[in-house]
Homo-oligomer: A and B are copies of this chain.
Amino acid sequence: MAADAVDLVMAAAAEAAPEWAAAPRSRSSALVAVANALEAHRAELVDLADAEAHLGPARLNGELTRTTFQLKLFAEQVDDGRYLDVRIDRPDPQWPTGPRPDLRRYRAALGPVLVFAASNFPFAFSVAGGDTASAWAAGCPVVVKAHPGHPRLSRRTAEIITAALHDAGAPDGVFALIEGEDAGVQALRHPALAAAAFTGSQRGGLALARIAAERPVPIPFYGELGSVNPVVVTPAAAKARADEIADGYSASVTQGAGQFCTNPGLVFLPADGDLLDAIARRMSGASTAPMLNERIAGGFEGTSRTLAGRPGVRALVWPDDPTAPRLLAMDLAAFTADLDAASEECFGPLGLAVLYERIEDVAGALAALPGQLTASLHAEAEEAGDLGALAGVLAGRAGRLLWNQWPTGVSVTSAMQHGGPFPATVGPATTSVGTAAIERFLRPVAYQNVPQELLPPPLRDDNPWNVPQSIA
């Protein structure tokens, strides 16, 4: 893509920004229109996605449903208006630090946002995915850098979006698709850009984060970089529910060929008992799904081989097929001694079981883990009272703690947190899934003693947008 073309795209985004930010009702209608247009092309889009990403129609239909649901959920957020966090302080001559002026604060849209699409969710984290939906909802134009893993799907999605936005009366420039690494970097460096969001590998994400930080005017870069999502199974749970846990674990770790940032790649199991064998039996029999592309398949093969060669690691499931599910095991002491290498993410259907003698020893290893998107605890109900310290350690290293559930399949709700301590995410105070994702693309602005006709509508006394106002 020519440098001039990126300039034009960014200029159009900057020009569209004020009108888009100023018209929430049009914005929410436009989001719904995009959702409906994608639904209207469902069969065509799913076919294209399957041809390029090989994830199968069932999964892809579900993912498209999630994608259109997200767009409509964010449209509701726009209409609801709570995301604006409107605060109004009336003048107070008796305020203890001196007369308080009329002060009104809300969160304004940041401006043009660049979204780097991910390979592993060709709908939900790609052109019309959660980052795009939440940035639009906040009032920001969006430029999407297409993922090279599904170029035809990206272009077709962009065409459908562009037509839907045009029909809905959205200003030109509210959306554009760009392609190619150079174009992405050029957009990231463009002075008109206000923020960027990324879902992908740690290596790629950190390189882009550095570019964002080294701009003359640095901008927020929200990178969701994945993790190994530790799971701890207590001895009591392993004993009482070995089959159920083996079923759940092997399904979660192999689902979608293991290509999820919430894939539970690391599982702590009691050294004695049958659970490890039960998991191995299921994983060796698991059907092999094609991976997203050759590069990812090659990465899986290389990373899993490196991991298998670390000190103390045994291969329990290691089929000839280089993309079939694999299971490794090591004991807790070996894991602790080699923590950095052993806790590195292997993107694909690989599980590393860490075998412990005493569950009291597990917390130390968990506390030393790098930041995680999720952490899961599988235990019996009657143990809950005794597991406070362990749960505290897990919650301290992760953005989401699960009890007797599996981390794949991230629900899109208001209480979801998809983002953990570094390096799971670059901005651990934010989420890239759920309604709170909108907060990434807003900036507070206060108005002091400003006449009604110059106030942004949500700060006015007549409240024309009908948004919640917290008045003191």
User: 0/1 per residue, A45-68, Cβ < 8 Å to B?
Assistant: 000000000000000001001100
Q: Is A399 an interface residue (CB 8 A)?
A: yes
Say yes or no: B413 contacts A454, CB within 8 Å: no
Q: Is A2 an interface residue (CB 8 A)?
A: no
Across the interface, which residues of B come within 8 angstroms of A211, CB to CB?
A: none
Q: Is A103 an interface residue (CB 8 A)?
A: yes
Roughly how many angstroms separate A394 CA and B415 CA in the complex, as a whole number?
A: 36
Say yes or no: B428 contacts A436, CB within 8 Å: no
Roughly how many angstroms separate A21 CA and B400 CA in the complex, as a whole number?
A: 18
One of B101, B401, B443 near A405 (C-beta < 8 A): B101
Q: Count identical subunits in the complex.
A: 2
Roughly how many angstroms separate A96 CA and B213 CA in the complex, as a whole number?
A: 38
Across the interface, which residues of B come within 8 angstroms of A95, CB to CB?
A: 411, 413
Who on chain B is nearest to A406 by CB?
B448
Say yes or no: B445 contacts A104, CB within 8 Å: no
Say yes or no: A416 contacts B384, CB within 8 Å: no
Q: Is A3 an interface residue (CB 8 A)?
A: no
- The minimal Cβ–Cβ distance linking A100 to chain B, given in whole angstroms, is 5
Q: Is A357 an interface residue (CB 8 A)?
A: no
Across the interface, which residues of B come within 8 angstroms of A385, CB to CB?
A: 453
Say yes or no: B422 contacts A217, CB within 8 Å: yes
One of B98, B213, B399, B409 near A444 (C-beta < 8 A): B399
Roughly how many angstroms separate A255 CA and B395 CA in the complex, as a whole number?
A: 48
Say yes or no: A411 contacts B101, CB within 8 Å: yes
Given A384-B451, A415-B88, the answer on whether A445 and B395 have CB atoms closer than 8 Å is yes
Beyond A103-B411, A108-B395, 8 additional contacts (C-beta under 8 Å) are A87-B414, A103-B413, A105-B414, A105-B436, A217-B371, A403-B451, A417-B445, A421-B443
18 contacts between A and B (CB under 8 A): A62-B98, A87-B414, A89-B411, A89-B413, A97-B411, A98-B409, A103-B413, A105-B417, A381-B451, A384-B454, A398-B445, A400-B445, A403-B448, A403-B450, A405-B449, A415-B472, A421-B443, A430-B444
